[in-house]
Structure 1
Amino acid sequence: MSNSPLVSYTKISPNKSSPRNHKIDTVTIHCVVGQCSVETLGNVFAPTSRQASSNYGIGYDGRIGMYVEEKDRSWCSSNAANDNRAITIEVASDTKEPYAVTEKAYAALIDLLVDICKRNGIKELKWKADKSLIGQPDKQNMTVHRWFANKSCPGTYLYERHAQIASEVNKHLGSTNIKPEPEKPSGGLYRVQTGAFKAKANADAMLAKVKAKGFDTYMVKVGDLYKIQVGAFKVKANAETMLKKLQAAGFSGFITIEQDSAAGASKSVDELAREVLQGKWGNGAERKKRLEAAGYDYAAVQKKVNQLA
């Protein structure tokens, strides 16, 4: 079993199980929570007291480090079965949501994944964002740390790009089974996200900060995360303009192409009104814009909301 020739720094961690007990058929991408170098990450994994490691790490500058050889299992995902079958990769990231990574680190991640797949006979990466498919690499061979532990890893930035990552890697692998990701999902809208929090108090604080700068922002709850978003655009260029304005105001963010909860479905006025009361459609003018963009009668929905409130 070989290791990646893309590695420029090696510091083998004592925190590993040798050899792994399963063939490599999965990849697990993690975020470091720190824009660190491969040397710094190697030092983090060096002490036995740390009880943690990864097969590879990618620094903020795009350099690649190796801390556990591929023949061995790293201690990375809080799950022995996953780590025995997966190549684990830590990527340097920001220290707060959405835990963004640099362009150089992202590019290196794609190159490393292509190399890993080629050497281990993985013909294509598959991502369904479906926790129930763990251990079924024929259906999904990308896993995330958050599925095995109470963590947000790999952070919103990388997690929401898993489909894109798979698509880019598969282009290099020559996979013919992958459909290109659409420029805009059917029935969906482009939105700019400035944060995602498990604690609502933290989300409320970010919401207030963004609003204080004059942005028409809103909060949506998706799963166990409260997401702060600005705008809902049919045209991606408009979302990109909004992202630049937010960045100029000192906020980090990224464009998300998640579908609205009504996308691709026809919901009753009563269903929509209850979703509005749950905060899924934003407030004020933003609510009106999003409902109408999704093809619904705002006035009818708002009338029902007033009756239920």
Structure 2
Amino acid sequence: MKPVVELKSLSKTIGKKKIIHNLNLALYPGQITGFLGPNGAGKTTTIRMMAGLMKPSGGDVVIDGVSLADDFEGGLSKVGVIVENPEMYKFMSGYKNLVHFARMHDGVTKARIDEVIDQVGMQNRIHEKVSTYSLGMRQRLGLAQALLHRPKFLILDEPTNGLDPAGIREFRTYLRSIAEKEGVSVFVSSHMLSEIELMCDRIAVIQNGKLIDIREMSETQDSFYYIEAAPMDRMESILKAEGFTFEAYEEGFIIKAEKTQIPGLVQQMTAQEMQLFAIQPHRKTLEDQFLEMTGGGQIAEAHAK
């Protein structure tokens, strides 16, 4: 599949400090990619370069085959952006806001405005003033505005900040629908790892300005089991001898194993007359894995530099 967006050796130096180090990343149509990193990792700097708000010191951003270095306006014409809580004209209706933004792009018809209103489920409230909208409604209007010109690439920086659980779930549903039905490549930066886990197809992790991991969400769903047995030193010896990847956890071990390997392991423990107290599936959350990847760096980043 041909990527919609390519970061090619993207770099940024401010003063004498190199903030971003040769990032290479491909983003594909219909796919939602989560962008994660500790505080100060360079997420916001990267997003600013992708959105044309900051000029790279080196490398390039290519959007739908168009280089921002060669054709800045042409490349950005294919991009939609939502940064935290979208700012709208509160004294105007939602519909008039969309009409105003539509004038900034060529070829956005009334039919297209009506189409995005339907997409984000705002038919019943679109002619009311934005000042009467909840935060969730304003987020929906912001999403509609970002989609008006049929972008190939949608950038979202902390899009669910301040939303309640129902609003977050609703926003996630709309986003998934847009990616799948319109083939938009969506790039989401957020500190809410539980949401990234539910929303995204894959994740890219940045630390100290370097891309340290890219993985499909399916890869984060490896099989782990919690085993609690005594004596623990004998349990550890068995796990080492059988080549299991494991780590100490509470009063036992977390092991990486296939379901079919568990009966044989239990048989060995029984043969050695060990006491088995518990064995059960254990799911490593994205937060657990993120902390492993980054060495325990802070997760939250609302305004990374």
Query: Which TM-score applies when normalising by structure 1?
Result: 0.27
Structure with higher strand content: 2
**Greater relative contact order structure (CA < 8 Å, 6+ sep):** 2
Q: Which of structures 1 and 2 has the bigger CA Rg?
A: 2
Query: Which TM-score applies when normalising by structure 2?
Result: 0.27
